[in-house]
Structure 1
């Protein structure tokens, strides 16, 4: 049985993968799919793809586009979550900062350079009319635990992360959320290493078919809200709100979206050039 390694963040967005693995759906199709949690987010997954530690990744759209242009030999094969990601902007509960404007020019915690928390800090700065050269300062904290430590100890001033994942930390008084910043495009895509894709195209298609079957009916799974609340230690009403806002996709990313992401990243000086659609995306 062929082993295929896939990575993603250990968050509620990816429960569909867990369910398919739990039900042995991939094994029944002759694929030993091995899931790896990446607590360091998109930057860590980009490194995993580059190093060959994983063959596939469920990864932030803007992060993988930036990294492919920077030399990561991977291709986007599908959108996984169609709706934007809502990034919460967090400070320590006892921080003196009360608004988004208050954190202008202060130190932002990021999981690593090229991660979503890094790139979205630029989007947030642009949205608020900040000077991108003077008003952004970064400190690498690796993951959510690092952010808790950094904010609590005052090493960093604010941190951007998906707001429902961090909601328990807001509820228990670790963080305070001063605002939100939705990503301006579909948030998660599935990317595959190019050399792996060349020789395993049919297996990748099979994997996508299985997970798409789950996501297309995800909201109809009995007691799915309670399952998510228990597994990810969320309040049931937060899970229900998140489910109402989130739509999965079974289609590839559009040319319009690829153009929009690149236009934004280029304007922010995050990528040095814009690439053709075919150099970033593979249709299966």
Structure 2
């Protein structure tokens, strides 16, 4: 049986992976797929891909593009979630900050440099016409628990993270959400180490076929809203709202989207150059 390591964030987007694993669908195809939760998000997964700790990552589009350009020997093989990620902009519940403008020049909590929370702080700054050199400052907090500690203690002032994942912290009076900042592109892709693509094409095809079958039917799974609410400690109405606006994908990311992401990252000086589509994307045939 072929052992394959895959990583992703422990969030509701990835429930489809949990369900297919629980059903033994990969083992039925002689694949021992081992899921690893990455609480540190994109930065932690990029490091794991580089180190060979995982073969596959379900990862933020902008984060993996940046890291491939920076030398990560991996490729995007498919879009996983087609819709943008809705990033909530959060402050500590008792913070004096009330508006986006209040946050100008203050310190953003980020999980890592090059992470989604880091890149989206730039997008938010650009959206609000801030000076990207003077109005941005960062505090590395590793993960969501670190953000709770950092904002509560005043080591950082605001934090961008997926809106529905952080909603329980808002409901419990730990965070207060000031506004939303959608990513300007499809949020999650599936990225695979080049070595694994070259040596395990058939296994990769099988894995993608299994997950794609489930994501196609995901919204029609009986009581899926209750399942998500219970597993991720969310309010049922929040889950229903999230399901209504979220679309999964079963196809690869297109060239126009890849170029648009790169243009945005280049304009923000997050990447040094724009590379060819084929340098970032591989079609599994």
Relative to the length of structure 1, the TM-score reads 1.00
For residues 125 and 205 of structure 2, the distance between their equivalents in structure 1, rounded to whole angstroms, comes to 39
For residues 65 and 16 of structure 1, the distance between their equivalents in structure 2, rounded to whole angstroms, comes to 24
- Corresponding residue number in structure 2 for 1:262: 262
SS at 1:36 equivalent? strand
SS at 2:84 equivalent? coil
- Corresponding residue number in structure 2 for 1:36: 36
- Corresponding residue number in structure 1 for 2:78: 78
Write the deviation string for residues 144-178 of structure 1: whole angstroms up to 9, x where unpaired. 00000000011100000000000000001000000
Q: Does 1:162 align with 2:162?
A: yes
For residues 6 and 67 of structure 1, the distance between their equivalents in structure 2, rounded to whole angstroms, comes to 17
SS at 2:113 equivalent? coil
Relative to the length of structure 2, the TM-score reads 0.99
- Corresponding residue number in structure 2 for 1:46: 46
For residues 269 and 27 of structure 1, the distance between their equivalents in structure 2, rounded to whole angstroms, comes to 44
Q: Which runs of 4+ in 1 moved over 2 A?
A: none
- Corresponding residue number in structure 2 for 1:149: 149
- Corresponding residue number in structure 2 for 1:252: 252
Q: Does 1:26 align with 2:30?
A: no
Q: Does 1:5 align with 2:2?
A: no
Please provide the CA RMSD for this pair. Answer: 0.3
Deviation, 1:196, is 1.2
- Corresponding residue number in structure 1 for 2:118: 118
- Corresponding residue number in structure 2 for 1:172: 172
For residues 125 and 200 of structure 2, the distance between their equivalents in structure 1, rounded to whole angstroms, comes to 41
- Corresponding residue number in structure 2 for 1:275: 275
Which consecutive residues of structure 1, in runs of 5 or more, have no partner in the other structure? none
Which consecutive residues of structure 2, in runs of 5 or more, have no partner in the other structure? none
Aligned length: 284
- Corresponding residue number in structure 1 for 2:234: 234
For residues 175 and 205 of structure 2, the distance between their equivalents in structure 1, rounded to whole angstroms, comes to 41
For residues 40 and 251 of structure 1, the distance between their equivalents in structure 2, rounded to whole angstroms, comes to 27
For residues 29 and 257 of structure 1, the distance between their equivalents in structure 2, rounded to whole angstroms, comes to 33
For residues 183 and 204 of structure 1, the distance between their equivalents in structure 2, rounded to whole angstroms, comes to 28
SS at 1:197 equivalent? helix
SS at 2:26 equivalent? helix
For residues 195 and 238 of structure 1, the distance between their equivalents in structure 2, rounded to whole angstroms, comes to 40
